[in-house]
């Protein structure tokens, strides 16, 4: 689908999802073909009710990148112009009102970055990790996506948040369980008090793994919805429950990125494409 054929941001719809679609105007966007500077984003109702947390799942709309990265691409590693990515990241930081926007060099591993000092050198430079945890207000944690999950974790008792890049490799490594254990060990978080939100990502309709026998542990077979297709949302929800979270504190967006390339970037659906952002921050 070309840039001109994509629906304008104010006409985007999210049927069959409990997420809330909103928008914010930031500036005008310098160099953008849309001078309004309208940035659409989605929010989870449960996380939105927590007064100390700001969060947003940004769509592919609202930035200045050109095809095939149109428009709000946040990755400089996919072939986009560096100045376009920098402008898009600046737009997100301003829209969220963050002092810092912290991304990661995501490698589908299990490294967890703990941020407790925002004076550290290179805070704005991506560090190699697939999860970041902080208790610092005004420091926005960003996950870049094009089918993998971003899972936001919030401890309202200890004022701690985490943002986790969780693809199928993260699921097989139980990265979510490891992050929750680090939150417990570093900040004293009780898993039963945590809130979690599993964002838009590859859905069970499109998560095909023809070589799953060599990729997934036997315990994942229960999440196979039909031959070779897996419900990775449910895998993550199960791993969160196993880690001690309460069922009523876990939200699932239920939006498949491959099915909704009008809203999101999808590597499986598009090949060469951009990355959209899921961001969370303590007020």
Secondary structure element (H or E) that encloses residue 132, with its range: strand 131-134
Chain centroid to CA 175: how far?
15
**Which position has the token pair 């009102």?**
97
Pairing of strands 131-134, 160-166: antiparallel
69, 78 contact by CB (below 8 A): yes
Q: What is the pLDDT along the chain (283 residues), one digit of tens a residue?
A: 333 334 444 456 665 567 888 888 776 544 444 434 689 999 999 999 999 999 999 999 999 999 999 999 999 999 999 999 999 999 999 999 999 999 999 999 999 999 998 665 456 667 899 999 999 999 999 999 999 999 999 999 999 999 999 999 999 999 999 999 999 999 999 999 999 999 999 999 999 999 999 999 999 999 999 999 999 999 999 999 999 999 999 999 999 999 999 999 999 999 999 999 999 999 9
- Quote the DSSP letter at residue 19: P
Domain count, the chain: 1
How much is the pLDDT for 35?
A: 37
67 to each of 5, 16, 64, 80, 212, how far by Cα in Å?
Answer: 12, 28, 10, 9, 33
Q: Which domain holds residue 81?
A: 3-282
Q: What are phi and psi of 211, to 5 degrees?
A: -110, 35
Secondary structure element (H or E) that encloses residue 38, with its range: strand 38-43
Asked whether the whole model's pTM tops 0.75, one would answer yes
Coil, helix or strand for 153? strand
**Which position has the token pair 């309004």?**
36
Q: Which CATH number goes with the domain that contains 83?
A: 3.60.140.10
The tally of CA atoms less than 13 A away on the side-chain side of residue 179 is 37
Q: What angle do CA 173, 176, 182 make, to 5 degrees?
A: 105
């Amino acid at each position: 689908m070309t840039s001109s054929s994509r629906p304008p941001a104010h006409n985007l719809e999210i049927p069959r999802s409990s997420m809330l679609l909103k928008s914010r105007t930031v500036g005008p966007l310098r160099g953008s073909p849309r001078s309004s500077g309208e940035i659409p984003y989605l929010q989870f109702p449960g996380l939105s009710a927590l007064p100390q947390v700001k969060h947003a799942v940004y769509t592919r709309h609202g930035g200045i990148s050109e095809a095939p990265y149109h428009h709000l691409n946040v990755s400089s590693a996919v072939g986009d112009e560096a100045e376009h990515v920098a402008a898009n990241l600046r737009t997100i930081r301003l829209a969220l009102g963050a002092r810092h926007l912290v991304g990661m060099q995501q490698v589908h591993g299990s490294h967890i970055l703990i941020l407790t000092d925002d004076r550290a050198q290179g805070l704005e430079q991506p560090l190699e990790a697939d999860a970041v945890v902080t208790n610092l207000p005004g420091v926005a944690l960003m996950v870049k996506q094009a089918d993998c999950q971003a899972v936001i974790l919030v401890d309202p008792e200890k004022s701690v948040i985490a943002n986790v890049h969780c693809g199928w490799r993260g699921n097989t490594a139980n990265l979510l369980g490891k992050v929750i254990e680090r939150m417990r060990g570093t900040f004293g978080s009780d898993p039963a008090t945590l809130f979690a939100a599993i964002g838009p990502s590859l859905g069970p309709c499109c998560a095909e793994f023809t070589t799953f026998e060599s990729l997934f542990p036997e315990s994942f077979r229960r999440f196979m919805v039909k031959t070779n297709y897996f419900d990775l949302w449910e895998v993550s929800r199960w791993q969160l429950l196993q880690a001690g979270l309460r069922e009523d504190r876990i939200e699932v967006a239920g939006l498949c990125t491959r099915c909704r390339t009008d809203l999101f970037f999808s590597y499986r659906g598009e090949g060469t494409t951009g990355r959209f952002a899921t961001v969370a921050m303590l007020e």
